[in-house]
């Protein structure tokens, strides 16, 4: 009988997600990888086989900017996996100009917040049935740059923005991840499913792909050991596997130290977090 923990993960083909996936495989996990690019997923599967031979790896293809594909992938995963011990919502995007998906959402909002919400919703019953289980979502201290939060408007805001104006938008999407985690944790009380989130720290890998000279900047920062993605990978793995975080429902934690962080004040508290949840549920269930 295979007793490997089953871990489903987004954003595993690059950067800290790739490092986390390799670490989880070494620790004996069975992996379910949600990825848009089949060649990248196949390359990761080969790399996992090299570092942890015999690791089961299933690939579920989806473009995380399209909620219909995320929902379909979630349903496929739920049907395929007899159990799910951990769901890791890691995929993220910092866009420096507005792009609107064919479904009418801002791409950054869709990838960073709506996709994790929809995937978690699709797998929620399976996670509860598999308890004890965990849900780990990658947020960011960039959430402090959000400035404001207005759930009804922010979820559907597709107005153009400048490169400089991208930071509050990115921060708001990550603030919503923290709010989502803390509301979800309240809803899951008594189920033995722990929902947590983390700030992975500044990561140079994939830094500002749309920025001029981004590749050269990434190499320079890497050479100086600034923005090491291993720090982000480590906190993801800890939240997914470490006994010390098994009961940390609603917790938000820092990379490197693992110390608890506070949700920024504008997104803190039951009322505003529940309002975001309800607005999201109404939006995605009607779409």
Name the percent of the chain in helix, strand, coil, to the closest 5: 50, 15, 40
Token pair 């920062």: residue: 221
How far apart are alpha carbons 195 and 86 in whole angstroms?
Answer: 10
How far apart are alpha carbons 49 and 59 in whole angstroms?
Answer: 14
Cβ-based neighbours of 286, under 8 Å, separated by 6 or more:
none
Known catalytic membership, residue 170: yes
Token pair 């997104």: residue: 267
The residue from 105, 113, 170, 252 that is catalytic is: 170
How far apart are alpha carbons 112 and 137 in whole angstroms?
Answer: 10
The pair of three-digit structure tokens given for residue 1, joined into one six-digit string: 């009988």
- Residue 31 dihedral angles phi and psi, to the nearest 5°: -110, 140
Which residues does the annotation mark as catalytic? 170
């Amino acid at each position: 009988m295979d007793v490997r923990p089953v871990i489903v993960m987004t954003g595993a083909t690059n950067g800290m997600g790739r490092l986390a996936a390799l670490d989880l495989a070494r620790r004996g996990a069975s992996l379910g990888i949600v990825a848009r690019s089949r060649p990248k997923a196949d390359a990761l599967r080969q790399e996992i086989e090299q570092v942890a031979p015999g690791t089961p790896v299933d690939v579920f293809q989806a473009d995380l900017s399209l909620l219909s594909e995320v929902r379909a992938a979630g349903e496929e995963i739920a049907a395929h996996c007899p159990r799910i011990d951990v769901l890791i919502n890691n995929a993220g995007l910092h866009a420096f100009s507005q792009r609107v998906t064919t479904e009418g959402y801002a791409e950054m909002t869709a990838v960073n917040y709506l996709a994790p919400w929809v995937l978690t919703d699709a797998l929620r019953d399976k996670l509860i049935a598999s308890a004890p289980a965990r849900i780990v979502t990658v947020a960011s201290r960039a959430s402090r740059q959000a400035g404001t939060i207005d759930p009804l408007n922010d979820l559907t805001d597709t107005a153009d923005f400048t490169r400089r104006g991208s930071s509050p938008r990115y921060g708001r999407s990550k603030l919503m991840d923290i709010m989502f985690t803390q509301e979800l944790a309240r809803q899951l009380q008594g189920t033995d499913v722990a929902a947590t989130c983390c700030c992975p720290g500044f990561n140079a890998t994939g830094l500002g792909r749309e920025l001029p000279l981004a590749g050269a900047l990434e190499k320079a920062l890497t050479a100086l050991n600034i923005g090491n993605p291993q720090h982000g990978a480590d906190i993801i793995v800890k939240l997914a596997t470490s006994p010390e975080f098994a009961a940390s429902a609603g917790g938000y934690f820092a990379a490197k130290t693992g110390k608890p962080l506070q949700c920024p004040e504008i997104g803190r508290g039951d009322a505003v977090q529940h309002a975001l949840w309800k607005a999201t549920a109404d939006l995605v269930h009607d779409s």
